[in-house]
């Protein structure tokens, strides 16, 4: 998954996923400009397997994390990244099972689909509980992510997960014990996202408080 090679950086034109915009506006009569992107809304689910008392996360190579970490250089007029200096593993993340809202369906249904595709659990709708929705990327996209919690069991596991091969997705399902999850919140050696840390805090403040 982290064998990354031949990395070049090109202008992003006509993307299906992000639409860069320059917004001109006046605030209290003062002219201003802000550069931003229109992106899809997202869904993310904290999964807890109650059969074996483990969290279920996903690990992926994220190109955006990779280029945020690596330095680019120009070779033969092309912006590129030397993968010997910057190996692919620096772009691996640990994330909640998540996806973009690119279908006209309720967000909980989209979350259910992602849980099956990415983690292999066929979870009944009533097990998918909304935690909250929050905005990210206030300076760039301001997009909303809808956060859910689902308690799953081994009996719900109907497939391996791993993402849609048809879309070239390579996703590793990662299980962590409750103690490992607690440590993960402050483990800066791992590329993890704000929402995962928030979801774990929520879990320890509500679900685990009641059960432990």
Per residue in 123-141, is it b (16+ CB within 10 Å) or e — as a string? beeebbeebeeeeeeeeeb
- Residue 92 dihedral angles phi and psi, to the nearest 5°: -80, 140
44 binds ligand ADQ (CB under 6 A): yes
111 binds ligand ADQ (CB under 6 A): no
User: Closer to ligand ADQ at the Cβ: 65 or 178?
Assistant: 65
Question: What is the CA 181 to chain-centroid distance, rounded?
Answer: 17
Would you state the structure tokens that stand for residue 159, as one six-digit string?
């497939």
Q: Measured from the CB of residue 58, what is the shortest distance to ligand ADQ in angstroms?
A: 8
Q: Which of residues 151-180 bind ligand ADQ (CB under 6 A)?
A: 167, 169
Q: Measured from the CB of residue 181, what is the shortest distance to ligand ADQ in angstroms?
A: 19
42 binds ligand ADQ (CB under 6 A): yes
Q: Which of 49, 61, 66, 99 binds ligand ADQ (CB under 6 A)?
A: 99
User: Closer to ligand ADQ at the Cβ: 116 or 178?
Assistant: 116
Give the list of residues 6+ apart from residue 148 with CB closer than 8 angstroms, or none.
43, 44, 45, 46, 108, 111, 128, 129, 130, 131
The footprint of ligand ADQ (CB under 6 A) covers: 17-18, 42, 44, 98-100, 145, 167, 169
């Amino acid at each position: 998954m982290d064998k990354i090679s031949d990395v070049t950086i090109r202008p992003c034109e006509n993307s299906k996923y992000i639409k860069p915009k320059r917004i001109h506006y006046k605030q209290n009569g003062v002219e201003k400009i802000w550069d931003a992107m229109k992106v899809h809304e997202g869904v993310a689910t904290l999964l807890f397997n109650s059969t074996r008392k483990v969290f279920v996360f996903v690990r992926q190579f994220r190109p955006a994390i990779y280029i945020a970490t690596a330095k680019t250089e120009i070779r033969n007029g092309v912006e590129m990244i030397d993968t010997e200096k910057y190996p692919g593993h620096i772009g691996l993340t640990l994330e909640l099972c998540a996806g973009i809202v690119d279908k006209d369906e309720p967000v909980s249904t989209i979350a259910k689909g992602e849980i099956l595709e990415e983690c292999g659990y066929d979870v009944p709708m009533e097990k998918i509980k909304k935690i909250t929705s929050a905005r990210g990327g206030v300076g760039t996209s301001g997009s909303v992510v809808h956060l859910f919690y689902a308690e799953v069991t081994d009996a719900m596991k109907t497939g391996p997960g791993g993402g849609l091969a048809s879309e070239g997705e390579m996703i590793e399902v990662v299980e962590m014990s409750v103690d490992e999850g607690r440590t993960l919140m402050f483990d800066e050696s791992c590329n993890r996202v704000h929402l995962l840390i928030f979801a774990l805090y929520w879990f320890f403040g509500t679900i685990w408080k009641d059960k432990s």
